[in-house]
Copies of this chain bind each other. A is one copy, B any other.
């Protein structure tokens, strides 16, 4: 089984966005550690299966980040399950998870399920609005979530998500300084090598998404840039 703890760079593909075969090939053969499929809007089972099948032509880990119960399908190497720690609604912390486990619990291979403690920090993002995230957090707030993720809930991943905008490196650094075992993911606004390198100084894993669809040549460059960065590890 693939070990996400060894990863440094992930490309995140949105099932609701079009990507041509040539671009997909470049992404999958870029040297990135994994492809994560996930999005906020318009994620349907058909779109997820279609994109998975296209990615599966390439020999790298393929992860589904679960956003709706309806779009879960077998065939991925791992399933990442967000638990939005700074949501104001129980639904996004553990409520929808409860419904899913009640219905599908006996089918679940828990070895493949990885819970991500999410902190969503861009108040204008769709995901912040969808999850009613309380985004006005300072470095101490995020540090407290980091401690809770690791010490209280023993989550394997803390995911700092600035979805669509570039985040505050001091906040990412503060989270990293409070983690020992939990792996820190950073995502949001990585549209250049410089930004990828800066966040790679603090986060264990840098997730690159939107720039794939906007500037693929810059997206591809982030792979080696992140891997060449010596972070806090």
Contacts and interface: CB of A to CB of B under 8 A. Distances in A.
Given A93-B94, A94-B93, A153 B115 contact: yes
Interface size class on chain A is 20 to 34
A151 B90 contact: no
Contacts of A140: 102
Interface stretch (A7-15, A28-36, A79-87, A192-200): A79-87
A179 interface: no
A94 B90 CA distance: 10
Given A89-B90, A93-B93, A105-B144, A151 B113 contact: yes
Contacts of A102: 140-141, 143-144
A125 to B, nearest CB: 19
A154 B152 CA distance: 9
A148 B99 CA distance: 11
Nearest to A102: B144
Interface in A74-104: 81, 83, 85, 87-90, 93-94, 97-98, 101-102
Copies of this protein in the complex? 2
A67 interface: no
A145 B98 contact: yes
Contacts of A154: 153-155
A85 to B, nearest CB: 7
A131 to B, nearest CB: 11
Nearest to A114: B152
A145 B108 CA distance: 14
* 6 closest A-B pairs by CB: A154-B154, A102-B144, A101-B144, A110-B151, A153-B153, A115-B152
12 contacts: A88-B90, A89-B90, A93-B93, A93-B94, A97-B148, A98-B148, A101-B147, A101-B148, A102-B141, A105-B143, A105-B144, A113-B151
